[in-house]
Amino acid sequence: MIKKIRNMTDTNLLLTITVVVFVVMYFCAVVFLGEGFRKPQTFLNLFNNNASLIIIACGLSLVMITGGIDISVGGVTALVCMSCAVNLDLKGGNVVTSMLIALGIGLAFGLVQGFLIAYLDIQPFIVTLAGMFFARGLTTIVHTNPINVKNKDFTSLKNTRITIPGLGTTNKKGIFVDATIEIGVIVAIVIVIALFFILRYSKLGRNFYAVGGNQQSALMLGINVKRTKFLSYVFCGLLAGIAGYVYFMHVGSGSPSHAQGAEMNAIAASIIGGTMLTGGVGNIIGTLFGVLSLCTIKDIVTSIGLDDAWWTGITVAVMLCIFLVIQSIVMAKKHSAGAVKDQPAAAKT
Amino acid sequence: MKSFLKKLTSNQIFIPCAALLLLALFNLIADPSFFKVTLDHNSNGDPVLNGFLITILDNGSELAILAIGMTLVTAASGGQDISVGAGIAIAGSVILRVLCGSNPRPDSLQTSLIVAFIIAILVSMAFSAFNGILVAYFKIQPMVATLILFTAGRSIAAWINKNQLPIISTSCDKTFGYWGTYIPGIPIPTPVFIAAISVIIIMLVLKFTNLKLYTQAVGINPKSSRLNGLNPELIKVIAFVILGICVAICGLIKVSRFQTINYSVVAKDIEMDAILAVALGGNALSGGKFNMWGSIIGAYVIQFLTTTLYKFNVSADALPAYKAVVVIMLVVTSAPVVREKLSKIFKKKAKAASKSEGGAAA
């Protein structure tokens, strides 16, 4: 068993920890907290409410795998919501133009930030910090007050629910209610699957890991390090744009206070999912489970009755702390065990 | 002359100073009254200096104090502490809790301010040490380790005071407000003095102890500093603890300024400004060598920029957008890649000029 763990790659080891913790946590919630958590809809609501966070966290994981960071994603999400709301409600646009706006904003942020970071060699933290400030500021410049969108096409799109056959519960009145998901969930799942295959099987995906693992040796292997980094930020920006639209479809309004702190939640989710900020280690499936774990914790806290806003912050932080310490201890143990194992072998030769 | 120019531009403090000069020049052209300082009297009849320059010095104090600690943390650990804003909320909350006891509207203070301040410093140091231990002993990247306190800090601050907002009114204690505003009879705001004293102390410490040498050694290469007999983990924790003291001082100034605290708003986004100050000062965010003066000047540059933007009626919500543009311009012009390219272009031009001159002479 221990040998098996030692032979696992870092990525898989951290992924396993995350998945096990999530399953145990949800199982405990089902056993001890009962009713609410037993409904399939509760589980699906995890996706419904957090589809945009899943997409953002996926983009962030890409960047973190290449060894960078992008904290502008929350700001971009808010900016996309506001711009789309203004476009639909005040400028008389339709759903297609608003989608194009969302993609355009995301792509623009990705391109500019990627260029500054990859080709001008400026620290990613500073660039994306400025990006976050810019996006947040621009959101209020576009429109100061929150807007509720009343466009008919959009509201019909927003209220579209996809029924999952076979799942559902009978409510108190004895009527059978089907379990449903929103369109955003489909988008999120498609993106997760696509990114999983890109990272695992495409040349670009492998390049991301190589650049994050060791930039110098990636360069020597003939990988275009600058272009790879650039592309990771473009992907992240684009995904932030898409996430913005998904968020917009979920809430149906634009407001400067949207997606407040989303970047930190996304970073936390990626880390819980086993992505390391040093780069080279991470997995999209892990990120998905990271988001789910984070949100399950929040659900559990509210259902226990610790409704005060501060408890959510404290529990999330405690969980993040525990995960970080577990990661650090496991990695240290594994590496020191590997070193002990290697030493006699080295002595023989 | 040329070598002098080269020496000047290659100096680390050149960029923040140039930025400061540019901002000052911009203001001088746009509206010279920006620099006017007048002596007024406040509602108590005490003399008070008024003017934008005073506002900058006053409001920049917290940032300058934070920049000191942030520089040390950046140099030693190669990462930044993003929990300072939350830390200020905690420190402020502790001060109010100790002063007010369980009554949010006290008629008199429970203890003296010194006791409250010392307790706040201890609490703040404990939280910073927690960050430092995670970074140094558990080898977690600083930004991630401090993310924990970043998410929990303001909640903890609210929890310390049981979610109440204590107010220390002037009828309860007059002297409490002195630390964040004015001491009667002295026209200069008190935070300026606090910042100046902090800067003097840290400069003396850097001059007479090995702190600077050790932090830089640890930041440049922890392994080789260990081989040279240093304890890199301990030095990282010490850097974080010093930042904790700075945070507690800022907490005192903040609560004294407003006589109360708002947990979700107090010192919001100040961590970003502090990190920017360090970067503007020309310090590498990846650790190693640092220049303390650069960071301190960087802090005032940022405050100068903020005040300038406020003066041009930029709303507080839209402020970050303009700030971001200026920051990106500054960072792009100071990026090594861009500088190299620019100097190449200049050299080419100079060569072409000298050639054409030579041709004319012939």
Test A130 with B151 for CB contact under 8 angstroms: no
Distance in Å, alpha carbon of A204 to nearest chain B alpha carbon:
26
pLDDT greater at residue B104 or residue B71: B71
How would CATH label the architecture of B2-313? Answer: Orthogonal Bundle (1.10)
Residue B78: closest CA among B18, B2, B135, B158:
B135
A125·B143 Cβ contact <8 A: yes
| Residue B19: pLDDT over 80 | yes
Residue A279: closest C-alpha in chain B: B141
CA distance B94 to chain A (A): 16
Q: Are A331 and A277 in contact (CB under 8 A)?
A: no
What is the average pLDDT across B179-193? Answer: 84
CA distance B184 to B174: 11
H/E segment holding residue B219: helix B211-220
Q: In this predicted complex, what is the ipTM?
A: 0.75
Q: Evaluate whether the domain defined by A2-338 bears CATH number 1.10.10.
A: no
CB B273 within 8 A of CB B80: no
Residue A105 banded pLDDT, cuts 50, 70, 90: very high
**Which chain A residues touch B141 with a CB distance below 8 Å?**
277-278
CB-nearest to A121 from B140, B315, B337 is B337
Which residues in A lie closer than 8 A to residue B323 (C-beta atoms)? 130, 133, 137
SS3 A162: strand
Cβ proximity of B266 and B259 under 8 Å? no
Give the whole-angstrom CA distance, residue A166 versus residue A41: 12
Mean pLDDT value of segment A78-89? 89
Least confident interval from A99-103, B141-145, B290-294, B306-310: B141-145
Checking if the pLDDT of A347 tops 50, the result is no
Tokens of A53: 């966070």
Pick A233 or B331 by higher pLDDT.
A233
Question: Which stretch of A6-10, A92-96, B227-231 has the lowest confidence by average pLDDT?
Answer: A6-10
Q: Are A325 and B145 inside 8 Å of each other by CB?
A: no
CB contact under 8 A, B147 and A264: yes
* Preferred mutation among B15, B90, B149, B151 to probe A, highest tally of A CBs within 10 A: B151
CB contact under 8 A, A264 and B150: yes
Q: Is the dihedral of CA B346, B352, B353, B354 positive or negative?
A: positive
Q: CA B303, CA B274: separation in Å to the nearest integer?
A: 11
Contact in structure between A256 and A139 (CB atoms under 8 Å): yes
**pLDDT of res. A324:** 78
Yes or no: say if B179 and B252 are a contact pair by the CB < 8 Å rule. yes
Residue A124 contacts residue A70 (beta carbons within 8 Å): yes
Pairing mode of beta strands B47-50, A161-170: unpaired
Domain positions in chain A are 2-338
CB atoms within 10 A of CB B2: 6
pLDDT (0 to 100) of residue A227: 92
User: Nearest CB to A122: which of B134, B159, B335?
Assistant: B335
Write down the pLDDT at residue A5.
Answer: 60
| A127, closest residue in chain B (CA to CA) | B328
Query: Measured between alpha carbons, how far is A113 from B284 in angstroms, rounded to an integer?
Result: 19
Summary mean pLDDT of chain A = 82
Domain spans in chain B, listed from the N-terminal domain onward: 2-313
Percent of chain A exceeding pLDDT 90 equals: 24
B322 has a pLDDT exceeding 70:
yes
Q: What residue of A is the nearest CA neighbor of B341?
A: A120
Q: Average pLDDT in the A181-200 region?
A: 90
DSSP3 helix / strand / coil % (chain A, rounded to 5): 75, 5, 20
* pLDDT tens sequence across A319-329: 778 877 877 77
Q: Which residues of B touch A267 (CB under 8 A)?
A: 144, 147
Chains A, B: CB pairs < 8 Å: 132
- Are B272 and A129 a contacting pair at CB < 8 A? yes
Contacts of B155 in chain A (CB under 8 A): 309-314, 317
Q: Which residues of A252-280 are buried (b: 16+ CB within 10 A; e: fewer)?
A: bbbbbebbeebbbbbbbbbbbbbbbbebb
Chain A environment of B154 (Cβ under 8 Å): 310, 313
* Percent of chain A surpassing pLDDT 70: 87
A310 and B158: CB-CB below 8 Å?
A: yes
pLDDT in tens, A51-61: 999 999 999 99
Task: Please state the rounded mean pLDDT for residues B232-244.
Answer: 93
Q: Write out the H or E segment, with its range, that includes residue B38.
A: strand B38-41
The string of DSSP letters for A89-158 reads HTS---HHHHHHHHHHHHHHHHHHHHIIIIIS---HHHHHHHHHHHHHHHHHHH-SS-EE---HHHHHHH
Lowest mean pLDDT among A77-86, A148-157, A311-320, B257-266: A311-320
For residue B155, give the nearest of A264, A271, A313 by CB distance.
A313
The two tokens of residue B228 are 């040279």
